[in-house]
Amino acid sequence: MATHLKKFGWEYVVVDEGWYLGNLDASGNAANSTFQMDQFGRYVPLTSRFPSAGKEATFRPLANYLRSLGLKFGLHIIRGIPREAVEKNLPIANSQFHAAEAADKTDLCPWNAYNYGLKPDHPAAQAYYDSVARLYAEWQVDFIKIDCISDHPYKGEEIRMFANAIARSGRQMVLSLSPGPTNLSKRDEVSKYSQMWRISDDVWDVWYSSENFPQGVKNQFNRAAAWAGVARPGRWPDADMLPLGSLRPAPGWGQPRETRLTRDEQRTMLTLWSIFRSPLIMGGNLSQADDWTTALLSNAEVIAVDQHSTENRPVITTENVVIWSAKADPGKDSYLAVFNISDVDQTIRYEWKDLGLAARSFKVRDLWEHKDLGSAGTLEVTLRPHASALYRISHPASH
């Protein structure tokens, strides 16, 4: 991260869920799981897996190390309070409450049984989340992803309570909500209390899926279109991680492998995520990234679309072709992302006016290939199945 990607804007390193498990199982959610907690029922890192945590069982040394590299530190957690803390009725730090007063024993995450949910808007529940946020602030955490909270089930009360806890912690921390698909009807609420929220269930290295889990790249086109125009600075619909490169030693779905997405599909994924302005989250093993994967993640012209474009929206949607446009910021230039979502080669041809562009001729730059293609009176490109192109479109008079 620090050596190869930081200069392109990548900055958060997030330790995935399960950092407190004493008997980590790659399949996850084992019935015989054991947990590392402090005396107040808060999960802490296992020293045998995170030696820098030391006797105090703190992530502070890891956060400090990342900061020395110019990076930021994040954690992935499951909402609620550990069931073990409730059974032992441990005290809640800096309060008169105990764990059993905060817990709703009827509320379990459908796919992870480590925790009970918290009683909505109950002072003991708020005190527990306050204690967790204070602990993370002491650890110098910059980013918190909370799972089992944004859909199946949606837990608006817990979202609000955790956002309030962060506000009281004295430290700014990004709040990311998972999994999706977050319902569009919750748009105003999630954008008020969080900085990121998932628009789909987990995306893995498949082109298309007929199942809710996993989702594929093609599945995201309709979801991105539904959320188009919602993103704004500090409030981002999240299309999920990028399962690129080496998915090992233990991916969260399937066997250890290299990504099954073709190179065309990988570019299409990054092109869609960028023109939609999703947060970019690498989900592969960076220490085993090959030159191709590194190049995907370090294309400054593509990343600029994700980071700085405006007015992002689909302008053409057919059974086989999708085209998005956006404004380049600053300036008068535009971006066009052209996708062949069919299973056969497609020659795609449109007049500029059909894409919302007024001039009769534009200069075209291919952002993936870093090539100026000259002036063109129409958009015309032939794309392989599942392939895409990303262009910067400039009026000749602007050069």
33 Cβ contact partners less than 8 Å away, ≥ 6 residues apart: 21, 22, 23, 25, 114
Distance CA 151, CA 255 (A): 26
Q: What's the pLDDT score for residue 33? A: 83
Q: What's the pLDDT score for residue 331? A: 76
How many angstroms separate the Cα of 181 from the Cα of each of 108, 144, 184, 206, 394?
19, 19, 9, 18, 36
State which CATH number among 2.60.40.1180, 3.20.20.120, 2.160.10.10, 3.90.1750.10 fits the domain covering 314-398: 2.60.40.1180
Distance CA 352, CA 376 (A): 9
Q: What's the pLDDT score for residue 399? A: 44
User: How is the chain split into domains, by residue range?
Assistant: 6-309, 314-398
Distance CA 223, CA 29 (A): 29
Distance CA 154, CA 120 (A): 12
Q: What's the pLDDT score for residue 348? A: 98
Could you tell me whether strands 378-383 and 346-351 are parallel, antiparallel, or unpaired per DSSP bridges? antiparallel
The predicted model scores a pTM of 0.96
Q: What's the pLDDT score for residue 316? A: 98
Q: What's the pLDDT score for residue 398? A: 46
The sheet with strand 196-198 has its strands ordered as 12-15, 72-78, 143-147, 174-177, 196-198, 236-238
The fold of the 6-309 domain, in CATH, is TIM Barrel (3.20.20)
Distance CA 118, CA 100 (A): 10
Q: What is the mean pLDDT of each run of 10 residues along the chain (399 residues)?
A: 97 95 71 90 94 97 98 98 97 98 97 95 97 98 98 97 98 98 97 98 97 96 97 96 96 94 98 98 96 98 97 98 93 94 98 92 97 96 98 75
Sign of the four-CA dihedral 71, 76, 80, 83: negative
